Amino acid sequence: MKDRIGKWLVSGPPLLYLIVFFAAPSLIMVLASFRSPGEFGGLAPLRDSAGHLDLNLESYARFFGEPLYWGIFLKSFWYALATTLICLVLAYPLAALIARSDKRHRDLLLLLVILPFWSNFLIRVYAWMIILGPNAALARTVNGVLALFGAEPVPLLFSAFAVLVCLVYVHLPFMVLPLYANLEKHDQTLLDAAQDLGANAWQRFWRITFPLSLPGVYAGAALVFIPAFGIFAIPDILGGPDDSLIGNVIKQQFLETRDWPFGSVLSIVLTLLALLLAALAAWVGRRSVGRLAGGDA
Amino acid sequence: MRKRPVSLWAAAIFAYAFLYLPLVIVVVYSFNDSRLNAEWVGFTLDWYRKLAENNEMLLAAGNSLMIAFVASLVSTVLGTMAGVAMYRYRLRLLPILVLTPIAIPEILMGVSLLIFFVMLNFTLGLVSVALAHIAFCIGFVAIVVRARLAGMDESLVEAARDCGATPWKAFAYVTLPLIMPGVIAGALMAFTLSIDDFVITFFTAGAGTVTLPLQIYSMIKIAVTPEVNAVSTLLMLLTLMLIVIASKVSPTLLRAD
Amino acid sequence: MALLDIEDVTRRFGDFVAVDGVSLSIEAGEFFTLLGPSGCGKTTLLRMVAGFDLPDGGRIVLDGQDLAGRPPEVRPVRTVFQSYALFPHMTVQGNVAFPLRMAKTPAAEAAAKIAEALADVRLTGFNHRFPHELSGGQRQRVAIARALVTHPAVLLLDEPLAALDAKLREEMQIELINMQKEIGITFVYVTHDQTEALALSHRIAVMNRGRVEQVDAPDRLYGLPRTRFVADFIGTCNLLTGPVMEASGGAVTIRVADLGPVRVGSEAQPALQSDGAIALRPEKIRIAAAGNGGTGGNRFAGKVTGLLYQGDVTVYMVRTEQGHALEALLANSASGLARFFEVGDAVELSWPADAGHFIDR
């Protein structure tokens, strides 16, 4: 009995706080998606002049009716996918190196990977503004080379390229950590046995290391894909007018166009997709762990 | 010692360079005697001087620190409670509410809180930002505390009860001291997250309130000067210090990820 | 009246019955051991006495008071955990003082009790060390001191010596015996190591699959096992099984496959043709060279198929003419009749009827 009281005493306050400031706003947003936009933006009153509840499916109809928005979701999906894959390719050697290092070096190496993450997000985006800027060394070199071939100068900044590079940059640590956590547990003797049986380095990697690392890959992919899917600051700062992703559209709807019901619809679709992907990642992760662990799991 | 082929080293070094070069450039150019962040002209501390006189920036910094202080305090208390509760009891709702804010894109929390505050006619300002920060920081603290609890020897709590301690006393005299490093690390993490937050703050700050990240954002969008580099460098220094302290206090903090 | 009465206690985890209607009476001042293989329920039973687990059925009565509903912190029992569970953030002094703090003992009295407890475990002067600065044996003694400092009625020990190496374990065993005798507190000791149990205890309860097979003093458990499990678990044993041929005149004869009729002295009256068993300890078998006629009712010829030299004794594996395998033990310092045997030697095994023990279960 005392335990019940204790349970509520300890879990109560955070539960209450999160219900008020997370669950309630989320539900309110769902409600908002069924309302009409206000005259001056925002939301129209819940009850119209006649006192009836003003709820409708107009915003949803608009979303499902206009392929433009589907296209943006798709674009965001491709950006997120590309980011995830590039992060995987870059993060893998890094994670592998740390996993194979001496124990005393590992913590330091990990810290070095994480530190940039702890710098302000905007600073990291801004840094790429500098690097890709038209007057900076990189752009001038690239355009110089292009000029040699008689091609037009290509702006590195405010382009899809800039957005992608920055997306990868910002999310890289999230891929390294789960991969490392997985690779660290690998048994070197498995690889030794494979080598003994005649497998070369590539075969050892592809047939043993990589399959065993899949749970880490899935975890990292989830940690990169989902945030990247909903990003808005990077395209906002580094992207050109064609590079708007779903995050930008949502921001636009809420702060500029001020069509809040429609913005809510977009947000809800984004949330559902994100949750779906998270659940998928968890399910795939569990399955692969079970399979790989054989009878041990 | 395991085998480490050269190609692995090369790829890893490239990755580390990729991670740090941009930040190094920001820092280096903060001392650059040129308006353009293009090439090195000469060493100067002008930008830092301008920063010190920039009232808007100082105000924004002050706001950020105040919010971070309050947010980290409240979210540490609530997050520790959540972490303990999730570890000890079989709960269904709390873990979902605690972990979802971390799993979904930040923008979703930002816009939903915007609607929420406006609907309640709650003025957007420092308070609304602080409330928002607490909501997403709770999850981080809870995860760190729960991991710390999981690494603790359960039999110690039983031994305390065996020695005559009620469950509350066992928590106070044994569990809490042992997880304290995790709690402190969680607090420092929450502080850093709050200072650095952009997306959620963007939507919940309203027109008149500026925090450091928001100020940096408007500077980036409107008029880029190396003052941005200077403030970035200082901010990075602060964050670096906090994280180093946090990892000294709780050495497994970063591994718990 | 017994100090600790465990009455028909049961504990289930889903479909699995961990403790199945166990009843035990433990006397004050006894060194009582719960012995059995992993999973037999001994630790679960101990935890129920300590209060960390609640029985699904039955009662636990200490000093006449039912312990039901009383949480661990109010029970007058103390536990020494297998991992010692010393608080790493407190010194030895802090650890030993903890129960006194919880009981709000005044400072002067507490200081005296701490000094006494540390003296009892021979760790005087270690007050300001931290657990991580101590060796395994020292940590264990701090755990015992902490458990004893409030003079509990019963001390529960959960395999406390399991983590120590063999030499240290032997030393600690002797210390534990002496400590228990001096202080006079009732010990309830849990272990899976039967040699340890035989050495330390006044009485042992052998448990298997949640039930108590036999409760007895060590020598009676060894010499007069009441079930096949006990015979097999305690020491090494030749378990001879077969249908009962004859049961009269203070003796029972069973026919053992691949061996023949085996006679054992027993007052039991089992039904003829029922399944009977005889426990025969290896050291009770006399092994002699073939032809060197032995005394006693049971004689079988055989060949040595293997031997294990153990320094003080040698164990001989012998296969009889009909094919039954038996183990016989011979002290290597024995002079006179006994002669060392090699693999392949023809030997004769013999033992008197009263060397075995009849088990009808």
DSSP line for A107-167:
HHHHHHHHHHHHS-HHHHHHHHHHHHSTTSHHHHHHHHHHHHTTPPP---SSSHHHHHHHH
Total domain count, chain A: 1
Q: Are residues C172 and C317 in the same domain?
A: no
Q: Are residues C192 and C314 in the same domain?
A: no
Boundary residue ending a domain (C199, C231, C263): C231
Give percent of chain C with pLDDT exceeding 70: 96
Q: Is residue A210 part of a domain?
A: yes
Segment B19-30 mean pLDDT: 85
Which chains pack against A, by 3+ Cβ pairs within 8 A?
B
pLDDT at C295: 63
Q: Are residues C322 and C197 in the same domain?
A: no
Test mutation, B148, B158, B163, chain C, max C CBs within 10 A? B163
- Each residue's pLDDT tens digit, B53-63: 888 888 888 89
C79 in contact with B, Cβ within 8 Å: yes
A25 in contact with B, Cβ within 8 Å: yes
ipTM for the assembly: 0.84
Boundary residue ending a domain (C209, C231, C253): C231
Give percent of chain B with pLDDT exceeding 70: 95
Test mutation, B152, B162, B166, chain C, max C CBs within 10 A? B162
Q: Is residue A142 part of a domain?
A: yes
For residue A188, which residues of chain B lie inside 8 Å, CB to CB? 2
B252 in contact with A, Cβ within 8 Å: no
Cα C236 from chain centroid (whole Å): 14
Segment C345-349 mean pLDDT: 87
Q: Are residues C29 and C170 in the same domain?
A: yes
Nearest Cβ partner for B12 among A93, A128, A230: A93
**Phi, psi angles (nearest 5°) of residue C127:** -50, -40
Q: Are residues C58 and C26 in the same domain?
A: yes
Mean pLDDT, chain B, integer: 85
- Each residue's pLDDT tens digit, C229-255: 998 898 888 888 888 888 888 888 888
Asked if the model's pLDDT at residue C361 lies above 80, the reply is no
C312 lies in which domain range?
A: 236-359
Segment C61-65 mean pLDDT: 90
Q: Which two tokens stand for residue A49?
A: 């002049």
In angstroms, the CA A178 to CA A218 distance is 9
Mean pLDDT, chain A, integer: 83
Query: For residue C338, what pLDDT band results from cuts at 50, 70 and 90?
Result: very low
Q: Are residues C219 and C247 in the same domain?
A: no
Query: For residue C293, what pLDDT band results from cuts at 50, 70 and 90?
Result: low
The CATH number corresponding to B54-249 among 3.30.70.270, 1.10.3720.10, 1.10.10.60, 2.60.40.10 equals: 1.10.3720.10
Cα A259 from chain centroid (whole Å): 25
Instruction: CATH number of the domain at C25, please.
Output: 3.40.50.300
Closest chain B residue to A102 measured between Cα atoms? B1
Verify whether the Cβ–Cβ distance A119 to B132 is below 8 Å: no
Boundary residue ending a domain (C196, C231, C266): C231
Q: Whole-angstrom distance between the N-terminal and C-terminal Cα of chain C?
A: 31
Segment C332-361 mean pLDDT: 77
pLDDT at C56: 92
Asked if the model's pLDDT at residue C334 lies above 70, the reply is no
Verify whether the Cβ–Cβ distance B158 to C52 is below 8 Å: yes
Considering only A32-46, B9-23, B118-132, which range has the smallest mean pLDDT?
A32-46
Total domain count, chain C: 2
Segment A274-295 mean pLDDT: 72
Verify whether the Cβ–Cβ distance B115 to A270 is below 8 Å: no
C74 in contact with B, Cβ within 8 Å: yes
In angstroms, the CA C303 to CA C323 distance is 10
- CB crowding B5-15: b at 16 or more within 10 Å, else e: eeebeebbeeb
Asked if the model's pLDDT at residue C97 lies above 90, the reply is yes
Q: Are residues C226 and C271 in the same domain?
A: no
Instruction: CATH number of the domain at A284, please.
Output: 1.10.3720.10
- Nearest CA of chain B to the CA of A293: how many Å? 22
Test mutation, C98, C132, C157, chain B, max B CBs within 10 A? C98
Alpha helices in C224-297 (DSSP H): 228-233
Give the H/E segment covering residue C238: strand C238-248
- Nearest CA of chain C to the CA of B145: how many Å? 18
For residue B155, which residues of chain C lie inside 8 Å, CB to CB? 81-83, 85
A215 lies in which domain range?
A: 86-291
Q: Are residues C206 and C60 in the same domain?
A: yes
Q: Which of B247, B26, B246 is nearest to A121 (CA)?
A: B26
Q: Are residues C56 and C141 in the same domain?
A: yes
A30 in contact with B, Cβ within 8 Å: no
Residues 41-70 of B with CB under 8 A from A: none
Cα A21 from chain centroid (whole Å): 23
Integer angstrom CA distances of residue A75 from A71, C142, C335: 6, 66, 95
State the Cα angle at B96 between B91 and B97, rounded to 5°.
Answer: 105
Q: Are residues C205 and C256 in the same domain?
A: no
Q: Are residues C140 and C17 in the same domain?
A: yes
Nearest Cβ partner for A25 among B18, B103, B112: B112
Query: For residue B134, what pLDDT band results from cuts at 50, 70 and 90?
Result: very high
CB C241 within 8 A of CB C256: yes
Q: Is residue A217 part of a domain?
A: yes
Test mutation, B78, B111, B117, chain A, max A CBs within 10 A? B111
Query: For residue B256, what pLDDT band results from cuts at 50, 70 and 90?
Result: very low
Q: Which two tokens stand for residue B74?
A: 């409240």
pLDDT at C1: 63
- Each residue's pLDDT tens digit, C175-184: 889 888 888 8
Considering only A5-19, B241-255, C239-253, which range has the smallest mean pLDDT?
B241-255
B239 in contact with A, Cβ within 8 Å: yes
